[in-house]
Amino acid sequence: MTDLIDVSFQETNLDQIADATGSLAVLVPETGKLGASARRLNRLTKGSIARAVESQMFEKAKTGDVTSLAFPVGVASEKLYLVKLPARCSATQARKAGADLAKVNGDKSLTLMADGHRETASIVQGLTLRSYAFKDHKSDQGDPSGAVLVMATKPEEVESNYAPMRAVAEGVMFTRDLTNEPANVLTTSEFADRLVELSSLGVEVEVLEEADLEALGMRTLLAVGVGSESPSKVVVMNWKGGSDEKPFALVGKGVVFDTGGISIKPAAGMEDMTMDMGGAGVVAGVMKAIAARKAAANVVGLVGLVENMPDGKAQRPGDVVTSMKGDTVEVINTDAEGRLVLADLLWYAQERFEPVGMINLATLTGAIIIGLGHENAGVFSNNDDLADAFLKAAATEDEGAWRMPMGPGYDKLLKSRIADMKNIGGRAGGSITAAQFLKRFVKDDVAWCHLDIAGVASIAAETSYAPAGATGWGVRALDRLIADKYEG
């Protein structure tokens, strides 16, 4: 796993500033009024901070922007950063400021002069999230990311506030690492092995093999993987941090590589299908996060790990498969495989655990990218309270999400001549008909959300909190949902 940057906290010591190596960062409010650390730095650097604050560059800078002063005189540091941040900013503004600071600083060591800023922990959270780099398969690993020293008026309080954020960041990094891995490394077996390691944090992990899945009747899930040499698996991760209440369930699509099967995808861009296990990656990251911070809630995570390959044994367009629920599905397109995996997982989660609520995640449709781009995941739900709670959590954590419509009018697009339903409904409303398909495997009394994360799980361009590639989207929002709605 990619290691988090090393962060330490100590009480502000103005006498150490001159000798600090690496980079120095100081917070300056929009008013330009300098705090104690900034005043000391201004004297040491012969007024350079005051001149920078009075410049048009600082005036035009937005909240959270970082102004860089290279090779400042009077101090040992190579760079001095001015972070424009109000004393009473939001957690999101502070988090983004920290992320911007990490981006410009790179892998140099950093001393952050935070004084008594009340959102210091959020600044450090942003620093941590944006310091990620996936280098596992690089010959040149480069220098390890530099350590961060945070000087604050009340360092123990800041460190205490940061502790749960750090636990969540561990979950985000876990998700990113899984999603970035190539498919010849992250096979279904390797994926399962990495999830078993969560038992060291107190998560009860159970791996169901193909014989177990056959016995349970998970035929739609198994049908996806019959063309692959990699065995299909289901991994159940159970965190029992609450009392005797039923758990909240998270369900993830884990297609470690998706060729499309017999309905094979175009060659151009197929290499990106290593990220088609992104939903399972998020579930794994959330389970790691809640276990690392010892969440006082009962949460079960279930992921279906399969590989969709063309082969003489692979399922064909026109095949009819029977789900664990007992409904029959006519497979029109073998590239609409994720919903077949989730259908059995959703039913199994309800039958075995009787969850108080359930959210599934999947890189399910290209249609959601057409509709929402790469800014928002699509949110589909049968329950307004759960949908609203998730959207609130996502907004708090600055993870884009947008609720999409559902309704019985879309069901006619899934009608099959020879089976209970088809697995696709055509181009029109493709992400919605996929959600309608999944809804058939959700019991009427179970609050449920489907998150289509195809546009946000892995992105070619960098985002506010991540470099190009896997984002870890959803780990923070779901951890927040659990903390706000299901703990205590």
Q: Write the DSSP assignment of 303-324 as a string of letters.
A: EEEEEE---TTS--TT-EEE-T
- One domain, residues 272 and 183: yes
The two tokens of residue 485 are 């709605």
- One domain, residues 335 and 365: yes
One pLDDT digit (tens) per residue for the chain, 488 residues: 789 999 999 999 999 999 999 999 999 999 989 999 999 999 999 999 999 999 988 989 999 999 999 888 999 999 999 999 999 999 999 999 999 999 999 989 999 999 999 999 999 999 999 999 998 898 887 666 579 999 999 999 999 999 999 999 999 999 999 999 999 999 999 999 999 999 999 999 999 999 999 999 999 999 999 999 999 999 999 999 999 999 999 999 999 999 999 999 999 999 999 999 999 999 999 999 999 999 999 999 999 999 999 999 999 999 999 999 999 999 999 999 999 999 999 999 999 999 999 999 999 999 999 999 999 999 999 999 999 999 999 999 999 999 999 999 999 999 999 999 999 999 999 999 999 999 999 999 999 999 999 999 999 999 999 999 999 999 999 999 999 999 97
- One domain, residues 299 and 429: yes
Is 162 inside any structural domain? no
- One domain, residues 192 and 323: yes
Question: Which pLDDT score, from 0 to 100, does residue 135 have?
Answer: 87
Is 2 inside any structural domain? no
Is 345 inside any structural domain? yes
Picking from 153, 178, 197, the residue at the C-terminal end of a domain is 153
Total length of the chain: 488
Q: From the CB of residue 487, how many other CB atoms can be counted at a distance below 10 Å?
A: 14
Is 397 inside any structural domain? yes
Where does residue 431 fall: left (phi above 0), alpha (psi -120 to 50 degrees), or beta otherwise? alpha
Tell me 274's DSSP state. G
- One domain, residues 113 and 241: no
* Catalytic one of 103, 108, 265, 392: 265
Is 479 inside any structural domain? yes
Q: What is the mean pLDDT of the chain?
A: 96
As a whole number of angstroms, the distance between CA 341 and CA 51 comes to: 60
**pLDDT tens across 104-125, in order?**
999 899 999 999 999 999 999 9
* Catalytic one of 339, 422, 439, 480: 339
* Structural domain boundaries, residue 390: 169-486
The two tokens of residue 253 are 């699509």
- One domain, residues 215 and 350: yes
- One domain, residues 182 and 149: no
**pLDDT tens across 7-41, in order?**
999 999 999 999 999 999 999 999 989 999 999 99
Single-letter amino acid, residue 464: S
| Known active-site residue 339 | yes
Count CA atoms within 13 Å of residue 444 on its CB side. Answer: 0
- One domain, residues 228 and 350: yes
- One domain, residues 226 and 321: yes
**CATH code: domain of residue 298:** 3.40.630.10
As a whole number of angstroms, the distance between CA 431 and CA 369 comes to: 9
- One domain, residues 176 and 79: no
- One domain, residues 192 and 141: no
| Known active-site residue 265 | yes
Is 164 inside any structural domain? no
- One domain, residues 136 and 194: no
Is 163 inside any structural domain? no
Give DSSP secondary structure letters for 110-124: EEEEEET-TTHHHHH
Question: Which pLDDT score, from 0 to 100, does residue 145 have?
Answer: 58
Q: From the CB of residue 234, how many other CB atoms can be counted at a distance below 10 Å?
A: 26
Is 159 inside any structural domain? no
Phi, psi of 254 (to 5 degrees): -125, 60
Number of domains the chain contains: 2
**CATH code: domain of residue 147:** 3.40.220.10
